[in-house]
Every structure is written in structure tokens, then in C-alpha cells.
Amino acid sequence: MPELPEVETVRRGLAPVLVGNRIKKVETRRADLRFPFPDHFADRLRGQEITALERRAKYLIAQLASGEDLVMHLGMTGRFTVAQDGLRTTPGEYAHPAGADGTHDHVVFHLSDGSRVIYNDARRFGFMVMVAHDERDMHPFLRGLGVEPLSVALSPDYLAARARTKKVNLKSFLMDQRVVAGLGNIYVAEALYQAHLAPDRAARTLADRSGKANDKADRLTVAIKDVLGRAIEARGSTLRDYRDPSGGSGGFQAAFRVYNREGEACRTPGCSGTIRRTVSGGRANFHCPRCQR
DNA sequence: ACTGTACCCTGTAGGC
DNA sequence: TGCCTACAGGGTACAG
């Protein structure tokens, strides 16, 4: 479910609740998510003040006063809700109804101000690990990650350099977290559309013969940053239109140009194409065969 | 070293 | 209504 814009929205929603607060108690309601919880998970969290809440790629990272970091990934269906005075709200506001009654609530963080932060994850593809802050960048889950797409590190030259020797298509290239960290199926589709590039084009065509970035790399860089920026502004995308008791949902799905629009008309001015759905690597691609080349 | 496929798990939507 | 299948925003572990 959550790609970079959704995780960033969750971070912004949770930060005011967590940062400066102290963890009074942690309940784990099963032994594992995707992986077993870290050894002595609850003990290592109990009593800790949360000093910062960061995002790296699709990971949420809570810094603790103990010097450890709690690193969390939401997988496909993970989401956090905040319970205060009996009311549950979803920071990020892209929740869907399943689990609203408490099924699949796997972790409950009890905070010293009386609020609770609840992790719910129907498919349990999410996971939580702990690592010393100083060693965070060497952790197996984090060390191989590529550049943050909204940072200056994502540039046409970077894309061309990484793509130059690759045999994969552009879609797979951009989905690879070791190249660009945080893109997923939705935003790759939207960025490729905005850059007028076909998902099945060879990734290496972002570089010219001498290996330098070309105009395609330029367009793609701009498109990625623009799509992600607008999606964060819209508080991410909600595919199942649910509103939690206190908030709205993400709004970027209204701005989709290709994702989930199979058979519909292309929205590029002057283009008479129809959005097509194809499959590669077991995942759906959406693109306009007419204006994406 | 790369690339493609199977798999992890549950809920939902659509065809019959 | 029920049953069955396909599919879903994530990533990993293999085999080739």
C-alpha cells in the first residue's frame, strides 16, 4: 500500500504524537509480523523517549533516547492509528475499513501522555527491527538503498550512470529500491507517464552512447520529483475510499493519469490514446502506448 | 552479477 | 447466496 508519499504522510501525522513522548509499555499481540519481533522488543522500548521520527525510503525510523533506532516498514497493508480518549484516528488518512474494529492490531504502543499508537497489518508484510543509531546505515535493510528521490542526489546523471549497464526495462529499474528508494507501482507508473516514457523501454536508453544523461533522463528526473511532491501535498493516495472517524483520506488518486485507468482515455492534451494495462514481473503496468515512448 | 519467478498472507471484487 | 479465481500499494529467496 504505502509508497514514499504515504509513508511521509504517516510520518508527519505521527511525529507530533510520538516525538518528545515516552513509551510506557508495548504490547505485541503475536510473535511476528513478516519476521519475528526483535529480541526483548518490549523491554528495549519501555521507558524510552522518542527523540525524532524520520523517513528513509519507505521506512519509518523512530530515534530513541537509548541510542537505538526503531525501524518500521508498513509492507502492503500496514498502518498506524492513534487512539486518544477512545477515538482512533489515522495519521496519513489512507486507512481502509478492514481492521477498523481491531482485527489485525498487532502492536500497541502505550505512551506516557495516555495516548496509544496502534500498528495494524492484515497481510503482515510489514516488519519492525531495532538497530543502534550509529550502525543504522549498515543494517541489511538500509545499507543497499538508493538515493532519496526528492533529494539533489536524484539527478539525470545519477539515473544515466545507474541505468547505463542495465538490461532491465525502465519500470523494473525504477522499482528497484537500490536505485531509487521509495518509488512503488503507482508512482513509477505516474512518473513514466509524465515523462512520456514507455515502461517497457530499456533502462539503458536513459544514457547516450558515451554514458551521459540524455533528454529522457532529464524528463524522468523532473517527473519523479514532481509526482512525489504533488502526492505528498495531497497526503498520498487512498485506493479504497474510506474516511476514518476524524479525518479524510489521501487525495492523490484523483490526480492519477494512468494508474488503475485501463481502457480510459489518455489525458494528455491532443492525445487520442487509451490507457493499457500490461504485466511485467508479476505486477501491473499502466501506460498510454500513444504518448509514452 | 544479473534477471525472472515463486512466495510470503489476508481481504476483496468479480465471474459463474 | 456461495464458491472460485485473480489481484492488491511491499520485499525476499531462490534458480537459471
Q: What is the pLDDT of residue A1?
A: 61
Nearest amino-acid residue to B1, taking CA and C1': A166
DSSP assignment string, A242-285:
---SS-----GGGG-SSTT-TTSBP-STT---B-EEEEETTEEE
Tell me which residues of chain A have a pLDDT lower than 70.
1, 86, 92-101, 240-248
The conformation of residue A28, written as its DSSP 8-state character, comes to E
Residue A42, CA distances (Å) to A35, A71, A104, A129 in order: 16, 14, 19, 12
Contact, A86 CB vs strand C, < 7 Å: no
pTM: 0.94
Question: Which residues of A29-179 form beta strands (DSSP E)?
Answer: 50-56, 59-64, 68-73, 78-84, 87-89, 105-111, 116-121, 127-132
Question: What is the C-alpha separation between A54 and A135, in angstroms, rounded?
Answer: 16
Task: Find which nucleotide's C1' atom is closest to A173's CA.
Answer: B3
